[in-house]
Amino acid sequence: MVCFCNKQIDIILLNFMSEKDYGAEQIKVLEGLSAVRKRPAMYIGGTGKKGLHHLVWEVLDNSIDEALAGYCTKIIVSVNIDGSVTVIDNGRGIPVDIHSVYKIPAVELVMTKLHAGGKFDNDTYKVSGGLHGVGVSVVNALAKWVEIEIKRDGKIHHQKYAVGEKVTDLKVIGDTDTTGTKLTFFPDAEIFDEIIFDKDVLIPRIKELAYLNKGLILEFEDKRDETKKTFCFDGGIESLVTDLNKTRHTLHDNPIYFETKDTDTNVEMEIALQYTDGYTESIISFVNNINTIEGGTHISGFKAALTKVTNSYIKKNKLLKDNVDLTGSDMREGLTGVVSLKIPEPQFEGQTKTKLGNADVKGIVESAVSAKLSEFYEENPTVIKVIVSKITSAAVARIAAQKARELVRRKSALESTTLPGKLADCSEKDASKCELFIVEGDSAGGSAKQGRVRDIQAILPIRGKILNVEKAAISKMIQSEEIRALITAIGSGISEQYNMEKARYHKVIIMTDADVDGAHISTLLMTFFFRYMPELVENGHLYLAMPPLYKIQKGKTAHYVYSDEEKAAKLLEVGEHGVSIQRYKGLGEMDPKQLWDTTMNPETRTLKQITIEDAIEADQTFSMLMGDLVEPRRKFIEENAKDVANLDI
């Protein structure tokens, strides 16, 4: 570990209230619980899969807040056989004494009043991740039933609720010499589209929280299939950077790591970074355990400090022989970093409310990072020499690519004269109405051009497999004809020059064959977008078209199905006598009408929206699948091959 924190000054010391001071009077109420069941999307973002899992995050946030306050060391999340979820922590336990104003037990107040809780009392929780959410009362309102058990003051307290209402009074059911809260809930089927908790959604977030709260034990158990996972990282985000770089060649053995606290504002920060020989930067940021995928003032401060300190050190020590001006992007090429802040009152903004807006945080972070990096640079000249060599190479490559980059940067989103010749553009100029289909092969591209709606659908055919940008410098990437065509057609620019307002299409749809080669091309394209146009993905503008595998014809009626399972079900439905089955080997086999009916018609098509649910897992997956190291990729394929269906070789 490369660490230069002053143990007497900089180690994060939390000055929270003692257990005896955390009682009913610290529970503050901002407003009553109303309209949650009528308008659930306002509180949890929707009633689909994302909203369903948000319920777990709200309960888990409460336990994490106890850990942040220094009172909880272990949290267990379980999906039970009946489909309910249980969260157990060994914190102080929700207060159970009678509130002086509301004349009910404090826990009942927390469960039945929106925005009621200790985190609104600044002396109880200095930092709270749960403030980003809406509280356990919303979970109660949207659950068929909730059962809560509290260990506190030597007693075990128990209470039940149903659809937000108290079913039983709070009562003592036993004695205990420990403390903590156990909450079990089952979502209401009248609210949610489907009640199936997905361990592949739960596990990454639980693991992420373990990284962000070093030393905290987080256990997950799925009793439906006996899956058990335990996460605890004594290295915190330093361990996270190490894991992110498992599939990359690193330039120095251990991450640069430090933690510090601004005593005037109580802003705490933890930063870890490590350089690799890669060509893209990978900086993941968090505020109060919330993944700030859109960045914000803390990232602006971090980047400014990194650029300023590195430039200063290079000039002072005359490490740059050629007369080359270094930029911030040069400093961050190949950099893997995690920036985690704890802020008393975060202000979130942006399209997905995951961008930090606190203006003062930029200066706080910039000042702290500048001091720490300057100290590290002076004490570790060998490491810095390697990093400077990487930065210099990045600068030389950038300058070589600059002219090529200018060729693909359009002056105006409306100038069609600079568009690639093979693009069949649409006539509509309102980008929010326009779709770009990136189509594998000239044959399929020709059919798509004939079958499309010309006013809103544009077609860009690509030949074969595009360059793997995970293993190529930007100078080489810009020389790729297919990638230049992509960048020019979309019009938004790439990397730091990306500007969504200049994008010519708000739906970019990858349309490839339903086979292994098609999947490979799709992955190459997604890698490009994830690395160079991440905002396009984050804002929900990237899609995968889903062409059918089979056409089942009976009489004059045609049915298109997308898997062997669907084919079997459809044959049972229509009967197998007098049926013809056509297996599509590629998009090029379809005539324009078939391609329109099955894959392009907004009324009948199936699209998969590409989203980044978990930035950490996405980063690791793209690096592992598309990077240089063979062994991690081989291991991944061996472990997941059994899950692949309909492999078409």
- Please give the Cα distance from 547 to 600 (Å, whole number): 9
The answer to whether the beta carbons of residues 361 and 301 sit under 8 Å apart is: yes
β-strands 2-3, 256-262 pairing: parallel
> Looking at residues 345-372, what average pLDDT do you find?
89
With 50 as the cut, is the pLDDT of residue 15 above it?
Answer: no
The lowest-confidence range among 17-21, 48-52, 256-260, 361-365 is 17-21
The answer to whether the beta carbons of residues 416 and 488 sit under 8 Å apart is: no
Within 13 Å of residue 349, how many CA atoms lie on the same side as its CB? 7
Burial class of 557 by CB neighbour count within 10 A (0 to 12, 13 to 18, 19+): exposed
> Looking at residues 107-134, what average pLDDT do you find?
61
What is the per-residue pLDDT for 131? 38
β-strands 348-349, 355-356 pairing: antiparallel
Pick 467 or 414 by higher pLDDT: 467
- Please give the Cα distance from 148 to 167 (Å, whole number): 12
What is the per-residue pLDDT for 17? 43
Q: Say if domain 413-547+593-612 classifies as CATH 3.10.440.10.
A: no
CATH code for the domain defined by 23-231: 3.30.565.10
Pick 566 or 32 by higher pLDDT: 566
Q: What is the pLDDT of residues 510-535, one digit of tens each?
A: 999 877 788 888 888 998 998 889 88
The answer to whether the beta carbons of residues 92 and 81 sit under 8 Å apart is: no
Active site annotation includes 10? no
Phi/psi for 480 (5° steps) reads -75, 120
With 80 as the cut, is the pLDDT of residue 170 above it?
Answer: yes
> Looking at residues 321-346, what average pLDDT do you find?
88
What is the per-residue pLDDT for 630? 61
Q: What is the pLDDT of residues 27-78, one digit of tens each?
A: 555 444 567 888 888 888 889 999 999 999 999 999 999 998 899 999 999 9
Rounded alpha-carbon distances, angstroms, from residue 162 to 35, 172, 188, 554: 16, 20, 9, 50
- Please give the Cα distance from 546 to 387 (Å, whole number): 44
pTM assigned to the model: 0.72
Catalogue the E-assigned strands of 197-266.
Answer: 217-222, 227-231, 256-262
- Please give the Cα distance from 25 to 22 (Å, whole number): 8
Pick 324 or 312 by higher pLDDT: 312
Q: Which residue of the set 19, 221, 262, 517 is catalytic?
A: 517
Strand partners, 157: 150, 172
What is the per-residue pLDDT for 8? 28
What is the per-residue pLDDT for 410? 41
Q: Which residue of the set 513, 538, 597, 619 is catalytic?
A: 513
What is the per-residue pLDDT for 322? 65
**In the numeric block, which tokens belong to residue 513?**
């064959």
What is the per-residue pLDDT for 129? 52
Q: Which residue of the set 515, 535, 589, 613 is catalytic?
A: 515
The backbone region for 361, taken as left when phi is positive above 0, alpha when psi lies in -120 to 50, beta otherwise, is alpha
What is the per-residue pLDDT for 461? 93
| pLDDT band with cut points at 50, 70 and 90 for residue 441 | confident
**In the numeric block, which tokens belong to residue 80?**
């039970």
| pLDDT band with cut points at 50, 70 and 90 for residue 412 | very low
> Looking at residues 477-502, what average pLDDT do you find?
87
**In the numeric block, which tokens belong to residue 402?**
């600059």
> Looking at residues 3-15, what average pLDDT do you find?
30
Maximum distance among all Cα pairs of the chain, rounded to whole angstroms: 83
**In the numeric block, which tokens belong to residue 267?**
């802003």
With 90 as the cut, is the pLDDT of residue 475 above it?
Answer: no
CATH code for the domain defined by 237-406: 3.30.230.10
Q: What is the pLDDT of residues 615-629, one digit of tens each?
A: 676 676 777 667 766
**In the numeric block, which tokens belong to residue 204?**
């990454």
- Please give the Cα distance from 534 to 525 (Å, whole number): 12
Active site annotation includes 648? no
What is the per-residue pLDDT for 423? 92
| pLDDT band with cut points at 50, 70 and 90 for residue 551 | confident
Active site annotation includes 264? no
- Please give the Cα distance from 453 to 467 (Å, whole number): 30
Pick 584 or 600 by higher pLDDT: 600
What is the per-residue pLDDT for 3? 39
- Please give the Cα distance from 232 to 216 (Å, whole number): 6
What is the per-residue pLDDT for 640? 52
**In the numeric block, which tokens belong to residue 642?**
């059994």
With 70 as the cut, is the pLDDT of residue 396 above it?
Answer: yes
What is the per-residue pLDDT for 637? 55
pLDDT, mean over the chain: 84
Q: Which residue of the set 208, 268, 435, 440 is catalytic?
A: 440
% pLDDT > 90, the chain:
49
Q: What is the pLDDT of residues 181-221, one digit of tens each?
A: 999 999 999 999 999 999 999 999 999 999 999 999 999 99
| pLDDT band with cut points at 50, 70 and 90 for residue 180 | very high
What is the per-residue pLDDT for 123? 52
Domain boundaries, the chain: 23-231, 237-406, 413-547+593-612, 550-583
What is the per-residue pLDDT for 403? 57
Residue 511 DSSP one-character state: E
Active site annotation includes 515? yes
With 70 as the cut, is the pLDDT of residue 638 above it?
Answer: no
- CA 266 vs. chain centroid, Å, equals 27
- Please give the Cα distance from 496 to 476 (Å, whole number): 18
With 50 as the cut, is the pLDDT of residue 326 above it?
Answer: yes
Pick 625 or 98 by higher pLDDT: 98
Type and span of the H or E element at 581 = strand 579-583
What is the per-residue pLDDT for 620? 67
Strand partners, 348: 356
What is the per-residue pLDDT for 473? 79
